[in-house]
Amino acid sequence: MTEERYKLAIGRIREIGAEQTVDVKFRDYFCRVADFVIMIDELKSVLSEGAYADAKLIELQKWNQRLYFDILPKQYEKSYANPANAVRKLGEEYGALLSFLYTELRGMIVYVFEKKTEYLDILMELFIEIYNQFEEGLPRIKDIKDTIYWYASDYCDVFVADRIKEQILPGESFAADIIRNSNLEDIRYLYQFGEYVSENEQKGAQYMNSLPDEVIQKMADVYTEGYRRGFVNTGKDLSKKSVVNIRYVLGFERVVRRAIENFEKMGLSPVIYRASVSVLTKRKHLRIGYCGGNPNPQYDYDHRNDQALFLDKKFVERKIEVIQNTYEKHKEEAAQFAGPACMEVFGEKPFSPEQKKEAIKLTDRQEELSRQFENRQSQITNEYIRGDERSFTIIAYPAPEIGEKYKEIFDEVIRINTLDAKLYEKVQQTLIDALDQGEYVHILGANGNRTDLRVQLHGLSAPEKETIFENCVADVNIPVGEVFTSPVLEGTNGTLHVGKVYLNELQYRDLEIEFVNGMINDYRCGNFEREVENKEYIRDNILHKHPTLPLGEFAIGTNTTAYMTAKKYKIEDKLPILIAEKMGPHFAVGDTCYSWSEDVKVYNPNGKEIIAKENSVSALRKEDVSKAYFHCHTDITIPYEELLSIAVVTKTGERILLLENGRFVLPGTEALNEPLKKMHR
């Protein structure tokens, strides 16, 4: 039946190019999209006949370019996937809808590789149905929107249910089979995933192949051991789990294969699901899962709110029902899920998006519905995959795009990721001993940085056995190098400012956030000429459309080796927050680091229990869990050179200096300044 549907649909689409039944204004659009679908059909035949697997590297590269050509930056200006171009050529309302349609159809690229013929059928039938409406004259906008709405509603139980199964069932891992069974020395394997393959992925894979086996093993061991230690350090029982989710970017398969072997020795089978390509399952512009290179970040950003075409209360209820039913059907498997192990890359050119008025936007009501959905989805997920039983780890490596000294930088990052944790544990405990004496911490900026912020600390009733800050020594959060806490919101006041920062794949310039009693009161940045666009940018991508967020974490990064490396190679603006947060004080807006597991007892290496794990907002979980969490956590770091001072202020008013003029001055922390001295030699 699936194949029969496919034959009927592709046969009808093949006829479109020769027809003149739609208004001339729309003919080019439908012909070009039909040509795209026909190209997918051609690829389907090549894949099924085995010719693709046997193709030479140059032939695979040509296929990859053909598939992604239309959204590459140089071509995107003329693409119907670009809402600005679609609106310019097709009109404001038709253009927005048809740009969405083409974008959704582009998901066929990965579906054909995964042999998901049913998905191909669904999308081709959607295209034909909308094409038919234009054959009868110009259709009403409402009729097109209704078609899109029922596509989303009717097939929610297919796309959303399958997405959940991909996340918890090892047997669903298309990527794991490629990683396990391919000859990784032959980089043609990169093109078997269906993802965009840029020079980063190709050169990255080639570099992995050049590394000695012991280096690959070391990289895998740091990654998997950090994951294991995350369970040990939080007192969670890893033996109760049997599934780990591996997230990474193409090119690191040699490391991932070894990591799979390590995880299997722990009793964990991998699920390696792809970053979503459908509006029904993806979250804004974020790529969560394994992925290839990003052909065009602006394309993703332009379509981040496409769900506005169908998002209403009825659809939210429908999607929640599918999520609940799917988890319930697979509740035993869901309970076996241990959490994600993430391997990120960094070094790409920082992306600051263009704000397009033609891009689809959510209404105020839809933003509220979106927040309600995320809240309910998180509650359901936590019901079946308990937060107090799962953990994670995250590590990052540079991409070749970082520059000519890629190999040198890569070696430096390996060194950073494997620094002596025992040394840092001792020095960081010295910082914590001082911080535990404090009523609040005062952070002041310098050299143009306008930060002036007071962070209120939890009180200690039994300081001999309790502590406020966690001593982070490279378990879940690699590399080593921070002490962090969940601040008391009441009394946390002032301004956080940073000249340039890169958050969630987006660049911010002159970012400033004002806190009143621990909650964001105002914000601004300098990315755009119009202040309203700057506000919208921050609200969309840092506040995630919430009216406000709490300061969920305050931390002091101690990894001066990473900082020195960043300065040496001039890559400060290319580092991921994972490393950047270890290079100065950082402040996370959103949930605390302990969300969904506040009641799990956590201890530092010295045996003291960490008691600062919640705030007055997260404490609301005891009364109404929907008011306790925001489902986001964004770290913002002030680099050392922008710091005048960080001081702990005790109840008696004593001021204990930790850092002054970008250097650690607390006795016992002098070793942290050694890497900084090398910068000036």
pLDDT per residue as tens digits for the range 221-253: 999 999 998 888 888 899 999 999 999 999 999
Inter-CA distances, 600 with 464, 479, 558, 610, Å: 20, 24, 26, 10
Asked which of 126, 154, 182 is the last residue of a domain, the reply is 154
User: What amino acid is encoded at 74 in this protein?
Assistant: K
What percent of the chain shows pLDDT beyond 70? 99
What tens digit of pLDDT does each residue of 564-590 get? Answer: 888 899 888 788 777 888 888 999 999
Mapping DSSP onto H, E and C, the string for 415-455 reads HHHCCCHHHHHHHHHHHHHHHCCEEEEEEEECCCCCCEEEE
**How many domains are there within the chain?**
3
Considering the domain boundaries, does residue 159 fall inside one? no
Asked if 600 and 483 sit in the same domain, the reply is: yes
User: Whole-angstrom Cα distance, residue 287 to residue 291?
Assistant: 7
Mean pLDDT of 303-322: 97
Asked which of 113, 128, 154 is the last residue of a domain, the reply is 154
Mean pLDDT of 349-353: 86
What tens digit of pLDDT does each residue of 413-425 get? Answer: 999 888 878 888 9
User: Whole-angstrom Cα distance, residue 636 to residue 620?
Assistant: 25
Considering the domain boundaries, does residue 483 fall inside one? yes
Asked if 177 and 86 sit in the same domain, the reply is: no
Mean pLDDT of 626-653: 92
CB 554 within 8 A of CB 585: yes
Comparing CA positions, the residue from 633, 149, 163, 626 lying closest to residue 374 is 626
User: What amino acid is encoded at 237 in this protein?
Assistant: D
Break the chain down into helix, strand, coil percent, rounded to 5. Answer: 50, 20, 35
What percent of the chain shows pLDDT beyond 90? 81
Mean pLDDT of 303-325: 97
Please report the pLDDT score of residue 420 as a whole number: 79
Asked which of 393, 411, 446 is the last residue of a domain, the reply is 393
CB-based burial label for 5 (10 Å; 0-12, 13-18, 19+): middle
Please report the pLDDT score of residue 350 as a whole number: 82
First CA to last CA distance, the chain: 72
Please report the pLDDT score of residue 283 as a whole number: 87
Asked if 127 and 175 sit in the same domain, the reply is: no
User: Whole-angstrom Cα distance, residue 128 to residue 22?
Assistant: 12
Asked if 150 and 173 sit in the same domain, the reply is: no
Asked whether residue 87 carries a pLDDT value surpassing 50, the answer given is yes
From its phi and psi, is residue 356 left (phi > 0), alpha (psi between -120 and 50) or beta?
beta
Element (H, E) at 413: helix 406-417
Considering the domain boundaries, does residue 400 fall inside one? no
Asked if 341 and 484 sit in the same domain, the reply is: no
Give the SS3 label for residue 347: coil
Mean pLDDT of 17-43: 97
Asked whether residue 681 carries a pLDDT value surpassing 50, the answer given is no
pTM: 0.91
Comparing CA positions, the residue from 15, 72, 6 lying closest to residue 40 is 6
Mean pLDDT of 480-503: 93
Domain that holds residue 346: 165-393
User: Whole-angstrom Cα distance, residue 47 to residue 54?
Assistant: 10
Neighbours of 527 (CB within 10 A): 18
Give the pairing of strands 393-398 and 438-445: unpaired
Considering the domain boundaries, does residue 408 fall inside one? no
Asked if 431 and 538 sit in the same domain, the reply is: yes
Whether the bond between 83 and the residue before it is cis, its omega within 30 degrees of 0, is no
CA dihedral (547, 549, 550, 552) in degrees, to 10, reads 170
Considering the domain boundaries, does residue 398 fall inside one? no
Asked if 199 and 104 sit in the same domain, the reply is: no
Considering the domain boundaries, does residue 532 fall inside one? yes
Please report the pLDDT score of residue 506 as a whole number: 85
CB 116 within 8 A of CB 99: no
Asked if 648 and 524 sit in the same domain, the reply is: yes
Radius of gyration of the chain (CA): 26
CB 436 within 8 A of CB 468: yes
Give the SS3 label for residue 370: helix
What are the phi and psi torsion angles at 309 (to 5°)? Answer: -70, -20
Asked if 623 and 482 sit in the same domain, the reply is: yes
User: Whole-angstrom Cα distance, residue 435 to residue 437?
Assistant: 5
Considering the domain boundaries, does residue 455 fall inside one? yes
Give the SS3 label for residue 381: helix
Lowest pLDDT segment from 162-171, 472-481, 554-563:
472-481
Asked if 196 and 273 sit in the same domain, the reply is: yes
Comparing CA positions, the residue from 289, 263, 267 lying closest to residue 276 is 289
Question: Please, what is the average pLDDT of the chain?
Answer: 94
Identify the residue whose tokens are 């061991």.
221
Q: In the structure encoding, which two tokens stand for residue 100, read together?
A: 């969405």
Residue 473 pLDDT grade (very low, low, confident, very high; cuts 50, 70, 90): confident
What tens digit of pLDDT does each residue of 267-303 get? Answer: 999 999 999 999 999 988 889 999 999 999 999 999 9
User: Whole-angstrom Cα distance, residue 631 to residue 593?
Assistant: 11
User: What amino acid is encoded at 52 in this protein?
Assistant: Y
Asked if 505 and 592 sit in the same domain, the reply is: yes
Mean pLDDT of 171-195: 94
CA dihedral (580, 582, 585, 589) in degrees, to 10, reads 70
Element (H, E) at 529: none
Asked whether residue 34 carries a pLDDT value surpassing 60, the answer given is yes
Considering the domain boundaries, does residue 590 fall inside one? yes
Which residues, in sequence order, are bridge partners of residue 354? none
Asked whether residue 679 carries a pLDDT value surpassing 70, the answer given is no
Element (H, E) at 659: strand 655-660
Asked if 492 and 542 sit in the same domain, the reply is: yes
